[in-house]
Amino acid sequence: MDAFTSLLNGFAVALVPANLFYAFIGVFIGTLIGVLPGIGPAATISMLLPVTYAMPAVSAIIMLSGVFYGAMYGGSTTSILVNIPGEAASIVTCLDGYQMARRGRAGPALGISAIGSFIAGTFSVVGLMLMAAFLARVAIRFGPPEYAALICLGLVILMNLAQGPLFKTIQMALLGFALSYIGTDICLGTPRFNAGSMELLTGINLIPLVMGLFGVSEVFLNMEESEARQIFETRIGRLLPSLKDWADSWWPIVRGTVIGFFLGILPGGGSVLASFVSYAVEKKISKHPEKFGTGVIEGVAGPEAANNAATGGAFIPLFALGIPCNVMMALFIGALMLHGVQPGPLLLKQHPDIFWGTVASMYVGNAMLLFLNLPLIGMWVKLLKVPYHTLFPLILLFTLIGSYSTSTNTFDVYTLIFFGIMGYVLRRLHYELAPLVFAFVLGPMFENNLRQSLILSDGSFGIFMTRPISASCVIAAAALLAASTLSNVRKKRELITRG
């Protein structure tokens, strides 16, 4: 079956009324949390995981996908009108978007942001459709040694790209692995690390863990912020960009789409890095780089296209290899596993409705977002005035209900509270939570493939060096780890020398 026929089957899935409804709910919620600063898509998706429990798997992924790319659209509104990024990927948009608003050009800034996002989002879905199927055919040749080595390489790359110190990142990854191994041994069937608790025999539930780490801790952190949000009072006026605006924005949108898509595929890349790189490229090649930061439309068009294109690229390693390239994709793996679907190269063969239905829904969702963002900007602006002290108790209530509803077990509520406090403390101590979640999600997959590899080789680790793909991954991981360690040692020596 060729890609075109598969895509038509995907539209047959995506255009079912129920799935259309879930796509709309996803993009609406995504836009909403993108507009409201301080929540973010990771916290929102973690809070919505319990809601998807009773849905069909394809409907759940369609809705969560809508939240993910919808947040990229909504984040630009606050960046332009309030100078506060509703989502981390929209930080760069503040630089020129807010200055455009101050000069009375809020309308064109919001318009080019929505239209550029639509163009980039659509083309990234085309890339997802073409590349994921090809990679999945290649990845079918992977066995347990290749998967174990690939997971190891992915974790090393993510640790190297983390913003914090390497030592703290490794600590978080090891903590995630340790938490993932609580429960029952997958080979022997014996309890391990459960401290005699019957509730922990089945392990720690992913839903209260991620809801606590991201949702509850986010509430605690934002309750500390007393800064008032002041919306810049300006007439938004005409939203459609002028011909000159189009001429200035067209190539930045094209470049941002390409940059965002390929950076979205890379582990640790994602929409935040894509928007920064796009802005840097536009400033570098501009004939008037000194105007960047004063309200040039290229500084809005490029980054907004890049962060939306990155969302499509991020799904490629998820669907093709079953490997998450960022924390959002780790949550999607959790959502698939909740529905008994194993991510990886066989997903396209065993569950084509999920892959092609999700791809087709992204075409539909991007069109929905265009109509949601342009005509309803006035409503989104009013939502910015919702005070935090009203919003966050509702979020806490939702997380508590969601955590309890998945298993009707009060132990999950205690787990939620525990990880909420833990997430808050770790973030206050400047630890990144993403490596912990990566390791927690990938830990059982890594252990399973590692132990299968050792069974195949009668306990010899040499199996990883006798197979070309796994050997390449192991060598690359060792080289990256050695390079980052030497770099840290060199930096410490320089600090000692200067001191």
Q: What is the pLDDT of residue 19?
A: 92
Tokens (6 digits) for 203 = 């392990």
> What DSSP assignment string belongs to 356-401?
HHHHHHHHHHHHHHHHHHTTTHHHHHHHTTS-HHHHHHHHHHHHHH
Q: Which has the closest alpha carbon to 66: 36, 88, 44?
A: 44
Contact 260, 120 (CB under 8 A): yes
User: What angle, 0 to 180 degrees and rounded to 10, lies between the N-to-C axes of helices 388-405 and 410-428?
Assistant: 130
Q: What is the pLDDT of residue 202?
A: 79
> What DSSP assignment string belongs to 17-34?
HHHHHHHHHHHHHHHHHH
Alpha-carbon distance 196 to 481, whole Å? 37
Q: What is the pLDDT of residue 476?
A: 86
CA 121 to chain centroid, in Å, comes to: 15
Inter-residue long-range contacts of 198-204, CB under 8 Å, 24+ positions, other chains counted: 199/409, 199/411, 204/179, 204/180, 204/415, 204/440
What is the four-CA torsion angle of 426, 431, 434, 437, rounded to 10 degrees? -50
Sign of CA dihedral 313, 316, 318, 323: negative
Contact 75, 86 (CB under 8 A): yes
Three-state secondary structure call for residue 191: strand
Angle at 325 between CA 323 and CA 330, to 5 degrees: 70
Three-state secondary structure call for residue 192: strand
Q: What is the pLDDT of residue 24?
A: 93
Phi and psi angles of residue 269, each rounded to the nearest 5 degrees, phi first: -75, -100
- Spell out, as residue ranges, where the chain has pLDDT lower than 50: none
Contact 344, 321 (CB under 8 A): yes
Q: What is the pLDDT of residue 381?
A: 64
Alpha-carbon distance 51 to 30, whole Å? 15
| Per-residue pLDDT tens digits for 163-221 | 567 778 888 888 988 888 888 887 777 888 877 778 788 788 877 887 788 778 877 87
Contacts of 487 (CB under 8 A, 6+ apart): none
Domain residue limits, the chain: 3-498
| Per-residue pLDDT tens digits for 267-325 | 655 677 788 788 888 888 888 888 887 888 888 888 888 888 888 888 887 787 777 77
- DSSP H helical ranges for 406-467: 410-428, 434-456, 463-466
Q: Which has the closest alpha carbon to 78: 278, 373, 396?
A: 373
Within 10 angstroms of residue 264's Cβ, the number of other Cβ atoms is: 30
